Amino acid sequence: MAHLRITIWNEFVHEQNNKLVQSIYPDGIHAAIAASLRALDDRLEVRTATLEEPDHGLSEKLLRDTDVLFWWGHCAHDKVADAIVDRIQSRVLQGMGLVVLHSGHFSKIFKRLMGTSCALKWREAGERERLWVCNPGHPIVRGVETCIDLENTEMYGEPFGIPEPEEQVFLSWFEGGEVFRSGCCWRRGNGKIFYFRPGHETYPIYHNPQIQRVLLNAAHWARPEGHWDDVTKAANVPADKAREPIQAKGGSVH
């Protein structure tokens, strides 16, 4: 199988201005995720990109060479240029996979692709989360236990303003009583999208081996499949170019 080319995008803001976050992710969340994926599978080609870089690190070429894009953002969603959001959306429609993490639920690209509010309830109290696998046959949970226990997390609660997921992979329970659809799959055009909830920056979530396993599985699941037709552009097929001769039957002629 061809190499899987992964790009991990992070706004990379909290790690530079918050000492606690810095102590958990000294080189940034993107670097931590990249290192864990490389450690699990040395055939992966993993790159990172951040908000501050020109084009937020997401040039046309880099996106063309990306099979699966991971997205972590929180306090700087508005700083992501609309032109780059257009560029990512069009690559997803062509077939690039997109894995949206935690507070990325409010990113421009996720809201664009979902077309709904993507709003939710939240609370930061360091409470316990039990992340239940509700679809044990799904490739994203290969090698994952019945549930993943996370000692300290930020709570996300229903209702979550998303379109009905096409596949539900995880469902979370929180110490305070709320539940949340924490692992959801959709397709948009040729591209696959996975939203995965855990990942608040002040807890070492991405150092958890079970979470790392889910991220690796998600990258494999979201990789492009089949033929990459450019479904983003409409194309006229004139009658004289049709595969079979057509008897003109009226109507408008272009």
Rule CB under 5 A: which of 126-155 touch Zn ion?
Answer: 154
Q: For residue 10, state whether it binds Zn ion (rule: CB under 5 A).
A: no
Residue number of the CB atom closest to Zn ion: 200
C-beta neighbour count of 164 within 10 angstroms: 8
Q: Considering beta carbons, is residue 47 or 128 the nearer one to Zn ion?
A: 128
Cα within 13 Å of Cα(53), Cβ side:
14
Q: For residue 67, state whether it binds Zn ion (rule: CB under 5 A).
A: no
The 8-class DSSP code of residue 2 comes to: P
Q: Are 93 and 126 in contact (CB under 8 A)?
A: no
Positive/negative CA dihedral, 30, 34, 35, 37: positive
**SS3 assignment, position 109:** helix
Shortest Å distance, C-beta 89 to Zn ion: 24
Q: Considering beta carbons, is residue 129 or 154 the nearer one to Zn ion?
A: 154
187 phi, psi to nearest 5 deg: -120, 140
Output the furthest CA–CA distance in the chain (Å, rounded). Answer: 73
- For residues 185 to 204, the per-residue mask of contacts with Zn ion, x marking binding by CB under 5 A and - elsewhere, is ---------------x----
Q: Which of 103, 153, 172, 190 binds Zn ion (CB under 5 A)?
A: 103
Shortest Å distance, C-beta 108 to Zn ion: 17
Shortest Å distance, C-beta 37 to Zn ion: 21
Q: For residue 30, state whether it binds Zn ion (rule: CB under 5 A).
A: no
Using CB under 5 A as the criterion, which residues of the chain lie in contact with Zn ion when the complex forms? 103, 154, 200
